[in-house]
Structure 1
Amino acid sequence: MNDATNAVTVKIRWADVDAYGHLRHSAYADWATFARSEWFESAGLDPQVFAQEGVAPITLEETTSFLKEVRLGDILTLSMLAAAETADGSRFVHTVAFQRKSLPVARYRMTGAWFNLRERKIVPPTAAIAACVTGLLRSDNFATLG
């Protein structure tokens, strides 16, 4: 089992805010992708591994619930968890909790899949990827997708 961390701390940058001075809606997805990438790397899954295995994660759907305003300079903790997956592991759900100090400011949810880069289709993860993914932290209500 991997000792994968599930949290990163980020500071909201000038490029992240909109004309109203708050975190623009698409920046939440950008930061969640950053958290997911860091999460994968902490488990030993970096872009080189995905290229070598010929399988990489793709996004099928994403949603964000905005709870509190986030502004330029705010420091947030993004906590990533595996929320669900299919029995064969080919599809999965990841969540990212956005918090300022201990205050929840947003919830992000991403449905994804493992994609074979040569065959261009959704597949179960390779044995090497599956071995790393099993060490990633899961939510308390982790579920099996039908």
Structure 2
Amino acid sequence: MYTKQFEIRWSDVDANRHLANSAYTNFMSHTRMAFLMEHGFTMKELAIHNIGPVVFYEHMHYFKEAFMGQPITVSLEVSGLSEDGKFFKFDHNFYNHKGENIAFCEMMGAWIDLRARKMTDLPDVLLDLANAFPKSENYKVLTKEDTRANGRAPKNLVL
């Protein structure tokens, strides 16, 4: 399991004086990018292939509060990849300074071609790196159907 430690700063708390939901998102994003960079998905490598990650969803579950000045640890486990590398799923857990699990998040995303602005498969060199990621116990090979909410595509809004 990959982990990253943070200290909760003044800018990370909300009006209730506990860790804001936006800070959870920022800490997860930082953890994901650090994980990817340490596994060969550097900014230079992504620029060479003109790709970037996008988030489809982040489902958060909060268990306990966290407060300013306290250290927290954010974990990352790879819980899914598609065969072509286009889709990925990560699980994050948050732990307080006592080691208590204070939140959990399941996130799913994809890679996009930054010129075409469309989802794209990973190039072979990055797919090889992704296939070597350490995987969680509940790891799954993802399909396009896994990217749909409850198995359905979103409905278009008509005004």
Q: TM-score, normalised by structure 1?
A: 0.91
Distance, in Å, in 1 between the alignment partners of 2:134 and 2:25 is: 20
Distance, in Å, in 2 between the alignment partners of 1:56 and 1:143 is: 22
Matching residue of 2:129: 132
* Greater relative contact order (Cα < 8 A, sep 6+): 1
How large is the RMSD of aligned CA atoms in angstroms? 1.3
Shift of 1:22: 0.1
Matching residue of 2:65: 69
Do residues 115 (structure 1) and 145 (structure 2) align?
Answer: no
Q: Is the 8 A contact 2:3 2:76 kept in 1?
A: yes
Identity within the alignment, %: 27
Matching residue of 1:49: 45
For structure 2, list consecutive stretches of 5 or more residues without a partner in the other structure.
144-159
Do residues 33 (structure 1) and 41 (structure 2) align?
Answer: no
Shift of 1:97: 0.9
> Which digits, 9 at most, give the CA deviation of each residue in 1:112-131, with x for residues without a partner?
00111122111111112112
Q: TM-score, normalised by structure 2?
A: 0.84
Distance, in Å, in 1 between the alignment partners of 2:95 and 2:85 is: 29
Q: Is the 8 A contact 1:55 1:126 kept in 2?
A: no
Distance, in Å, in 1 between the alignment partners of 2:137 and 2:5 is: 22
For structure 1, list consecutive stretches of 5 or more residues without a partner in the other structure.
none
